[in-house]
Structure 1
Amino acid sequence: KVGADRRAATGGGEGQGGMLEKRCRAGFDGVEEIKRHPFFVTIDWNKLYRKEIKPPFKPAVGRPEDTFHFDPEFTSRTPTDSPGVPPSANAHHLFRGFSFVASNLVQEPAQQEVHKITVHPIVQQLHGNNIHFTDGYEIKEDIGIGSYSVCKRCVHKATETEFAVKIIDKSKRDPSEEIEILLRYGQHPNIITLKDVYDDGKYVYLVMELMRGGELLDRILRQKCFSEREASAVLCTITRTVDYLHSQGVVHRDLKPSNILYMDESGNPDSIRICDFGFAKQLRAENGLLMTPCYTANFVAPEVLKRQGYDAACDIWSLGILLYTMLAGFTPFANGPDDTPEEILARIGSGKYALTGGNWDSVSDTAKDIVSKMLHVDPHQRLTAVQVLRHPWIVNREYLSQNQLSRQDVHLVKGAMAATYFALNRAPQAPRLEPVLSSNLAQRRGMKRLTSTRL
């Protein structure tokens, strides 16, 4: 009765207004009354309590330790003394802002130069404007060079720990998406970890773990003994990681072998890392919020979903190229580095590749089946990451052959692979469709109708 009187006094107490009214936030039945409210009717509170419900999006965190703000597992721990960024070679900058430095008030306005540097918000949060990459790290030799970035080895001055730094030219590419994805999902064991970010206004510096084991394909082709069973283990690890990304609404879109590396020299599939998220995309609702696929139906435009599904299928196609090369010892659509892009694209478009002769005469039928389904020319009929993981060739790995697979010369195979992706990047974009009334013919007809009407 008291709860009813209170609701009557406040105009029903329904919705957000009722919850904001201090006297009737919980009502007569307390929190149970809130849980029964029509606004929350779709929530299974038991599943929510057991953490069985996937969140619609995951907020980015600068460090794994940031979760101590929310989870009782962390809030119950002894507080740590930290200003946010761990002590490093830049520690002498930490309290610089507490010192008084008299300004030169008599300086002429004309002599005052103001440099406006736009710094990435995450970098602003981590370092502010005063700390530069070279204050804490020493740059070493090149590791790799791309069209808009260069990757170098670097050494942390304070600890002498080796890292890799990706230096991105901001005038050529916005690194925001790549940074957010690495911060959100870089804690996955098979995704490269982002250690730190710096921004000097012109370049962004992404400090990441150093991949000492080299490229996946390079290592496999040089390995003395590589079997079908080992190929299954490698593909399983990579596909499991891709499935995790796809389940979070992330597509990589550049899964060429040079972006799949080994963390160390062990050659263990667990040390594989997916790198270079420069072309990766996150699924977003129309309001800009990140969404996971299970929450997209009511918030994401159909054409965005269609594009996302196409990009996910492209990821699987790239893994199919890798699998074919691991098993056959050569690439499916390029014979060598001298093949022209036109020749390669014609072969890709026809969907024809050899599954007989050479290694294919000794490879299992299930291997041929999964390869053909991953390289299907129609992206809608291609396997998904989940379907790849459920395929008998992955599930029944212990029954696969351990005989050594032969392969072509390492440089020839890598050259053919590079030619394949060069051809794909040069492929002409599909024409952008516009409304019929946008065509010149429709506009001319419209003008004629207008003229005849006036006459």
Structure 2
Amino acid sequence: MGCGTSKVLPEAPTNRYVDFVRTVVRYNNKLKACDDEPLKPQRNQKGDFWRLHGYSDLRSHLLQNCQDEGQKKVAKYRARFDCRVTARYDIKALIGRGSFSRVVRVEHRATKQPFAIKMIETKAKEGREVCESELNVLRRVSHHNIIQLIEVFESEDRIYMVMELATGGELFDRIIAKGSFTERDATKVLKMVLDGVQYLHSLGITHRDLKPENLLYYHPGADSKILVTDFGLAKSGNKGRDWTMSTTCGTPEYIAPEIIQRKPYTNAVDMWALGVISYILLSGSMPFEEENRTRLYRMILKGKYSYIGDPWPTVSNLAKDFIDRLLNVDPDMRMTAFLAWNHPWIASMAAGSSVKNLHRSISQNLMRRASSSSPSSKSGQSSKSSRSNRSRFIWERETLDCSLRYQPHYEH
């Protein structure tokens, strides 16, 4: 979960959190209210500030006020947290919010290890359903490329999920900042993602909302791993690919044709989404992009995309073959995670591909998309309704603003 810090965290060793992974602290109505006092913001003496610095340091004064406001928010949310949570974790900052959840950055009091805690209000039916769905998945997984659930606290009307904290930022933010990006770099990214997805599918878990915003770097270092995050729409079922789902859900540009057709579908929908991600990763543009939702779905149903424009003339045929085998409208003909991981382009780490730097074309296309989808653009409002907001925080998928506008057909 991005928190804006520049601190480089080391890679977590295997079973690092064995002492309290999957710990569940249940509600006890005999517990009294927490005795901890809210955090008190530390303020500068304003009189001394103005006397010594005057208007020349107005910016510093405004920044101090912003810090004071941030400390007030921390104090506010700490006061709302269960005292069992604050006894173990020191709340540092509010870093995300949803319709019935709050995400804070915390520090374990004993180990000083940073984590993120998602507090979900479970009074509402929607909150309970999202929480149960996410917990059912996260309690089953333990993989170096999957966001890790550390422990869970339960109270009468809230659930506190302690999670790994990813501080390295989103995938495409890193690409833009890097300055150089080749096909070999793309295969490194995709191999980590495929590693995580293959693990999920082996457990019978389908993510159902794979997209670049849900792929986060663990730390800002160049050797950081990538974490698959946001399991609000994930579905857990039988191992293998022989069980089906029917809920209409997902983010429009990444939705597989069979979901649009409302057919029973399998974990092959994740592989379609990975095809879309791969296309964007190599070009910075979308394979299926249309402001009108109906026309967008028609393009997806036809599998209509092209390799026209920069940087596609310099992209290898093997890379295009990898994408084509994922963006197959027939889910039975689509590559599985195992086959994709073993595809020659991935397995060879693009050894026979061009070493041309794709960064300029990718960055220009990404910036163009960001500009065209901004609220200030001519079609800003329609774009805003048809695209998912680029959330800086993981797990914020309670509201399905960016899902299909159908009446959902739920699994039985």
TM-score bracket relative to the smaller structure? 0.5 to 0.7
Q: 1:292 to 1:163 in 2, by over 3 A?
A: same
TM-score, structure 2 normalization: 0.63
Is structure 2 residue 240 aligned with structure 1 residue 293? yes
Task: Determine if the alignment matches structure 1 residue 176 to structure 2 residue 123.
Answer: no
Report the 3-state secondary structure (helix = DSSP H, G, I; strand = E; otherwise coil) of the residue aligned with 2:219: coil
Alpha-carbon shift at residue 272 of structure 1 (Å) = 0.7
Higher alpha-carbon deviation: 408-417 or 344-353? 408-417
Shift of 1:316: 0.9
Q: Give the superposition deviation at 1:191.
A: 1.0
Report matched runs for 1:373-384 at 5 Å. Answer: 373-384=325-336
1:277 to 206, 209, 231: 231
Amino acid across the alignment from 1:238: V
8 A contact 2:246–2:409 mirrored in 1: no
Is contact 1:222–1:410 with CA below 8 Å preserved after alignment?
no
**2:333 is the counterpart of 1:355:** no
Partner of 2:406: 428
Q: Deviation per CA, 1:363-401, whole angstroms, max 9, x where unpaired?
A: 001111111221222323222111211212112222222
Superposition map of 1:33-48 within 5 A: none
Aligned pair count reads 301
Provide the C-alpha distance between the structure 1 equivalents of 2:338 and 2:235, rounded to a whole number of angstroms: 19
Within 2, Cα distance between the matches of 1:420 and 1:427? 12
Determine whether 1:369 maps to 2:321: yes
Q: How far does residue 426 in structure 1 lie from its aligned partner after superposition? A: 2.4
How much does 1:326 deviate? 0.9
Q: For residues 430 and 379 of structure 1, do their structure 2 counterparts lie closer, same or farther at Cα, with a shift above 3 Å needed?
A: farther
Contact 2:105/2:117 (8 A) holds in 1:
yes
Does 1:206 pair with 2:156? no
Q: Which residue of 394, 400, 422 maps to 2:346?
A: 394
Please state how far the C-alpha of 1:232 moved relative to its aligned partner: 1.1
CA–CA separation in structure 2 for the residues paired with 1:403 and 1:327: 11
Does the C-alpha gap of structure 1 residues 345 and 267 become closer, same or farther in structure 2, counting only changes over 3 Å?
A: farther
| Matched residue type, 2:268 | A
Given residue 392 of structure 1, which amino acid in structure 2 is its aligned partner? Answer: P
Structure 1 residue ranges without an equivalent (≥5): 1-60, 68-83, 98-129, 284-290, 434-455
> Residue 199 of structure 1: CA displacement?
2.1
**Separation in structure 2 between the aligned mates of residue 146 and residue 250 of structure 1, nearest angstrom:** 24
Q: CA deviation at 1:157?
A: 3.5
Deviations 1:148-171 (A, max 9, x none): 433221223344432111222322
1:346 and 2:298 equivalent?
A: yes
Assess if the C-alpha contact under 8 Å between 2:287 and 2:306 holds in 1.
Answer: yes
Aligned counterpart, 2:37: none
Distance 2:387 2:334 in 1: 19
**For residue 219 of structure 1, what is the amino acid of its counterpart?**
R
Secondary structure of 1:132's partner?
A: helix
In 2, the alpha carbon distance for the partners of 1:190 and 1:217 equals 17
2:359 paired with 1:403: no
Q: Highest relative contact order (Cα 8 Å, sep 6+), 1 or 2?
A: 2
State whether residues 366 and 392 of structure 1, in contact with CA within 8 Å, keep that contact through their aligned partners in structure 2: yes
Q: 1:256 aligns with which of 194, 204, 211?
A: 211
Cross-structure match for 2:85: 133
Residue number in structure 2 paired with 1:154 = 106
Q: Which amino acid in structure 1 is aligned with residue 235 of structure 2?
A: K
- 2:48 corresponds in structure 1 to none
**Residue 413 (structure 1) shift:** 3.7
Given the superposition, is the C-alpha separation of residues 411 and 356 from structure 1 closer, same or farther in structure 2, using an over 3 Å criterion?
closer
Distance 1:410 1:311 in 2: 30
Please tell me whether the aligned partners of residues 151 and 164 of structure 1 are also in contact (alpha carbons under 8 angstroms): yes
Secondary structure of the residue aligned to 1:143 is strand
Letter in 2 for 1:236: K
The TM-score, its normalising length taken from structure 1, stands at: 0.57
Contact kept in structure 1, 2:147 and 2:164, CA below 8 Å:
yes
Question: Could you list the runs of 5+ residues in structure 2 that have no partner in the other structure?
Answer: 1-14, 33-81, 248-257, 374-382, 390-400
Cα deviation for residue 65 of structure 1 reads 5.8
1:185 maps to what in 2? 141
Distance of 2:408 and 2:245 partners within structure 1: 18
Asked if the contact 2:171–2:212 (Cα under 8 Å) also holds between the matched residues in 1, the reply is: yes
Shift of 1:432: 8.8
Which among 116, 122, 127 is matched to residue 164 of structure 1?
116
- Cα distance in 1 for partners of 2:232, 2:276 equals 20
**Could you say what secondary structure the match of 1:377 adopts?**
coil
SS at match of 1:185: coil
Give RMSD over aligned pairs: 3.9
Q: Distance in 2 between matches of 1:310 and 1:281?
A: 12
Work out whether residues 334 and 420 of structure 1, in 8 Å CA contact, stay in contact via their aligned partners in 2.
Answer: no
In the TM superposition, residue 334 of structure 1 has moved relative to its aligned partner by 2.4
Change (3 A) 1:177 1:386: same
Asked if structure 2 preserves the Cα contact closer than 8 Å seen for 1:192 and 1:273, the reply is yes
